[in-house]
Structure 1
Amino acid sequence: MSLLPLIFTAGWASGINAYAVVLLLGLFGVTGLSDDVPEGLQRTDVLVAAAVLFLVEAVADKIPYLDTFWDTLHTVVRPAAGAVVAALLAGADDSLPQLAAAAVGGSAALVSHLVKAGIRMAINTSPEPASNIVTSALEDLGVAGVITLAIFHPLPAAMIAGTFLLIGLISIILLASRIRRYRRRRRERRLARLAAAQPG
């Protein structure tokens, strides 16, 4: 069970930015800084694809409303990535069954993703774009920092990831009214567009 903290942390981080997780883990493996990274994440084509998609997300994630659209597209991608990364980590070590690892990584990624998406909806009720940029930058830095810590000190990193997840869940509860306002506003805009498209 020695890999469990790393798997949980990677899952949590995948729910925020799956491409950054794959890229960082791959780089740690390629450079020899970690022996826990499976070969599959160190492949050149995987690293190049992750780097390109990370750059795309770095832009999309900072633009109001586009960030929520991007989150919607990744509702399946991020949990799946968390599960796959977890299974690969477990497969390279054999200390944890791959199916159990995938369940932990995928579940952590799903909850983390839903927290991220909900907070972004709440932020998008604000008219200025600065909060999106700041939040996105903090998320990227948080993922980079926690994944780096997890490579060398998995248990403290998992504790930090768990704390962030708990804070995020509490934030969602506190921001529930703003999230409902965002969804209502989007629904009204959609209905208005449909009405405008009707002939006559």
Structure 2
Amino acid sequence: MSVLPMVFTSGWASGINAYAVVLLLGLCGRAGVGGEVPEPLQRPEVLIAAAVLFLCEAVADKIPYVDTVWDAVHTLIRPACGAMIGSMLAGQSGGDLSEVACGALGGTTALVMHLVKMSTRMAVNSSPEPFSNLVLSVVEDLGVAALVVFALFHPVVAACIAGGLLVLGIGTVVLLWRKVRAFLRRRRERRLATAR
């Protein structure tokens, strides 16, 4: 398994749903699917905890405004998980890559993706209809699952896809926030015009 691409991809995915990453890597490791998965991720107690927390996130993430609170709480958790997984992957490879450097890469990637997810969700929550939040959450869950499993077999291609999605996510956040700011400015101008 190529370590740096796998660290980047798992960091990207951890920024969206860290519990899904731990659960998927652990289950794939136990099943012997894909490359080498660090032993701590395969332990039964880790898999049980990750499964329970994944189910909690799956519910919380689909409810408008609850997802914003959940994301705020996970501002430290997701990057820490990305860093931990990156460090474990480097240690597992037995190569010359520094566990600290891979931890930093995984944690930083997770933090940036977490901020993209959180910002996108806050913008989507300003929409009057409730379905966009649900659709976005399902797409995120499926995307994380697909890319993490794909990365076990094709880490370089998966890292390229994750990088492209990260850039696309940053661009989407910029576009969404511009639209939200323009909407709020127009509403404020209408309110001021009505008050006169």
User: 1:127: Cα distance to partner?
Assistant: 1.7
Question: Contact (CA 8 Å) 1:125, 1:181: kept in 2 or not?
Answer: no
| Partner in structure 1 of residue 163 of structure 2 | 162
Letter aligned with residue 138 of structure 1: V
Alpha-carbon distance between aligned partners in 1 of 2:46 and 2:164, rounded to the nearest angstrom: 30
| Structure 2 counterpart SS, 1:127 | coil
Q: What pairs up with 1:41-190 in 2 under 5 angstroms?
A: 41-95=41-95, 96-177=97-178
User: 1:176: Cα distance to partner?
Assistant: 1.5
Alpha-carbon distance between aligned partners in 1 of 2:179 and 2:44, rounded to the nearest angstrom: 43
User: 1:158: Cα distance to partner?
Assistant: 0.3
Tell me the alpha carbon deviations over residues 78-111 of structure 1, each in whole angstroms, 9 at most, x when there is no partner: 0000000110111111222100000100000000
Q: Which runs of 4+ in 1 moved over 4 A?
A: 178-183
Aligned length: 184
Alpha-carbon distance between aligned partners in 2 of 1:181 and 1:135, rounded to the nearest angstrom: 23
| Partner in structure 2 of residue 8 of structure 1 | 8
Tell me the alpha carbon deviations over residues 156-195 of structure 1, each in whole angstroms, 9 at most, x when there is no partner: 1000000000000001111123565999xxxxxxxxxxxx
Distance 1:144-1:115 versus aligned 2 partners, 3 A rule: same
Question: Contact (CA 8 Å) 2:21, 2:148: kept in 1 or not?
Answer: yes
Question: Contact (CA 8 Å) 2:2, 2:156: kept in 1 or not?
Answer: no
Q: Give the structure-2-normalised TM-score.
A: 0.90
Question: Contact (CA 8 Å) 1:71, 1:117: kept in 2 or not?
Answer: yes
Distance 1:126-1:33 versus aligned 2 partners, 3 A rule: same
Alpha-carbon distance between aligned partners in 1 of 2:120 and 2:107, rounded to the nearest angstrom: 20
| Structure 1 counterpart SS, 2:49 | helix
Alpha-carbon distance between aligned partners in 1 of 2:138 and 2:27, rounded to the nearest angstrom: 20
Alpha-carbon distance between aligned partners in 2 of 1:145 and 1:116, rounded to the nearest angstrom: 17
Letter aligned with residue 50 of structure 2: A
Question: Contact (CA 8 Å) 1:20, 1:54: kept in 2 or not?
Answer: yes
Tell me the alpha carbon deviations over residues 114-152 of structure 1, each in whole angstroms, 9 at most, x when there is no partner: 000000000000122111100000000000010011000
Question: Contact (CA 8 Å) 2:12, 2:162: kept in 1 or not?
Answer: yes
Question: Contact (CA 8 Å) 2:6, 2:159: kept in 1 or not?
Answer: yes
Question: What root-mean-square deviation, in Å, do the aligned CA atoms of Structure 1 and Structure 2 show?
Answer: 1.9
Alpha-carbon distance between aligned partners in 2 of 1:68 and 1:135, rounded to the nearest angstrom: 13
| Partner in structure 2 of residue 19 of structure 1 | 19
| Partner in structure 2 of residue 195 of structure 1 | none
Q: Unpaired segments of 5 or more residues in structure 1?
A: 184-200
Q: Give the structure-1-normalised TM-score.
A: 0.88
Letter aligned with residue 131 of structure 1: S
| Partner in structure 1 of residue 190 of structure 2 | none
Identity of matched residues, %: 58
Alpha-carbon distance between aligned partners in 2 of 1:181 and 1:143, rounded to the nearest angstrom: 32
Distance 1:137-1:92 versus aligned 2 partners, 3 A rule: same
Alpha-carbon distance between aligned partners in 2 of 1:144 and 1:181, rounded to the nearest angstrom: 35
Alpha-carbon distance between aligned partners in 2 of 1:182 and 1:90, rounded to the nearest angstrom: 46
Question: Contact (CA 8 Å) 1:15, 1:108: kept in 2 or not?
Answer: yes
